[in-house]
Amino acid sequence: MAQKAETAATGIIPSARTPERLEISNLSKGFRRSGGDLVGAVSNIDLTVSSGEIVVLLGPSGCGKSTLLRCIAGLEEPDDGRIEIDGRVAFDSSRDFMASPDKRNVSMMFQSYALWPHMTLRENVAYPLITRGTAKVAARKKADDYLELVGLAGLGQQYPGSISGGQQQRVALARTLVSDPSVVLFDEPLSNVDAKVRVQLRRELLRIHAELGFAAIYVTHDQDEAMGIGNRIAVMREGQIVQLAPPVSVYEYPSTRYSAEFVGAANMIDATLVSSTASDVTFTSALGEITAKPETVWAGHSSVPAPGTDVVLMVRPEYCGLAEGAPADRGTANVWEADIDGSLYAGSRTEFRCTAGGISLSAWVVGSPAGLQKATRGSFSIPPSAVRAIEIGAATND
């Protein structure tokens, strides 16, 4: 709160709030490889980002994340579609219109710090303002305000070579934000700093974002970062957005097997629906009968399939239980005798690999249970409310 008042006093908060936002419709961009093959780097993307929102792009290397950012920034010319920034058209293929990068109120921050080594930190931050014609004195004053905002007050006269990597990334952030962009594009900005500094910078970035309220797209490979920073996560695959939802929805209710496996570890079980009532859902599988809850197993699906339909069920390993020895009562729902194939200690949990009914399963157990780590047989259990139907019908299985 103190920080907020301080920042307001520096005059950083833009006085006239515009309906800052980004609207992308049907955007496509392909590249021709030297052999002649066409790569659809970005395919038919629709995405709207509101002011004050951070959308995280999450997807494997080469799925088009940077290309999408570069199209928004105006560094790449899309083949098709439309981009509106602040309610103004920045690109429209149907009118053959493309605004140059400097005509878009967009800033981009990259993984590499890219600070000018021969300029002081203040000069580095002031640089985007100077190139836009701001008078030197005003630009330097504003640069100092932004250095303060990122926690580097008083270091304006230092040179990039004399500060740490984490501090350099703060300077890069100040330089990205100093021109009051309404849309900020972050391309893996923290992947070069160590894990501890990354967590701290992420927290600060969220604080600054809450103060300035720009619309942001944030690319990361780090799932924890995606979960912690995004208001929504866009899971990308081969140039397309396959799921766009808040982090909890993407994690708890992934819409496809691809999303489920990309945002975390997942047990996948092929099953067939036996019956679905208002209170219980029953499947058959290689494990035997699996019971689930209708409100969670069908979440995200518009209708309940007919009995006999094949489905893929997903259960996150941290929801699964593992106990020593065979189940006390073989008739208990969702408890199966399992071989314990191995375990991996991961600090906060131990990850057990098991086999039951010929299926490989994993259960994450809190801490380091010594008895289980020595055991070769155990009881593997799945709470009915943890079961999700990921794919319905054999045709969607991939």
Ligand X SMILES: Nc1ncnc2c1ncn2[C@@H]1O[C@H](COP(=O)(O)OP(=O)(O)OP(=O)(O)O)[C@@H](O)[C@H]1O
Residues binding ligand X (CB under 6 A): 31, 39, 41, 59, 61-67
Closer CB to Mg ion, residue 191 or residue 396? 191
CB of 30 to Mg ion, least distance (A): 16
Nearer Cβ to Mg ion (66/182): 66
Which one among 66, 134, 350, 362 touches Mg ion, defined by CB under 5 A? 66
Residue 243 binds what, of Mg ion, ligand X, none (CB under 5 to 8 Å, by partner type)?
none
Least gap, CB of 268 to ligand X (angstroms): 25
Q: Is residue 283 within 8 Å of 297, Cβ to Cβ?
A: no
Helix (H) or strand (E) holding 127: helix 121-131
Q: What is the DSSP letter of 191?
A: T
Least spacing, CB of residue 66 vs Mg ion, in Å: 3
DSSP code per residue over 208-274: HHHHH--EEEEE-S-HHHHHHH-SEEEEEETTEEEEEE-HHHHHHS-SSHHHHHHSS--EEEEEEEE
CB of 79 to ligand X, least distance (A): 13
Distance CA 49, CA 220 (A): 17
Give residues with Cβ within 8 angstroms of 83, minimum separation 6: 22, 23, 24, 27, 71, 72, 89, 90, 91, 92
Separation of alpha carbons 236 and 41, rounded Å: 11
Residue 333: exposed, middle, or buried by beta-carbon count in 10 A (0-12, 13-18, 19+)?
middle
Asked if 390 and 379 touch (Cβ cutoff 8 Å), the reply is no
For Mg ion, the nearest residue by Cβ is 66
Contact, 364 vs 319, CB < 8 A? no
Contact partner, 41, from ligand X, Mg ion, none, Cβ < 5-8 Å per class: ligand X
To the nearest whole angstrom, how small is the minimum distance from the Cβ of residue 62 to ligand X?
4
Min separation Cβ 69 and ligand X, Å: 8
- Nearest distance from residue 196's CB to ligand X, in Å? 23
112 or 164: whose CB is closer to Mg ion? 112
Q: Which is nearer to ligand X, 65 or 202 (CB)?
A: 65
Classify 396 as helix, strand or coil.
Answer: helix
Residue 379 contacts Mg ion per CB under 5 A: no
Q: Which stretch binds Mg ion (CB under 5 A): 9-17, 59-67, 116-124, 288-296?
A: 59-67
Task: Choose the binding region for Mg ion from 66-74, 109-117, 266-274, 300-308 (rule: CB under 5 A).
Answer: 66-74
Q: What residue 116 binds from Mg ion, ligand X, none (CB within 5 to 8 A, per partner kind)?
A: none
CB of 108 or CB of 273, closer to Mg ion: 108
- 8 A C-beta contact, residue 74 and residue 99: yes
Q: Which does 296 bind (CB under 5 to 8 A by kind): ligand X, Mg ion, none?
A: none
User: Could you tell me how many residues of this chain bind Mg ion (CB under 5 A)?
Assistant: 1
66 versus 343: smaller Cβ distance to Mg ion: 66
Which is nearest to 218 in space by CA: 208, 210, 226? 226
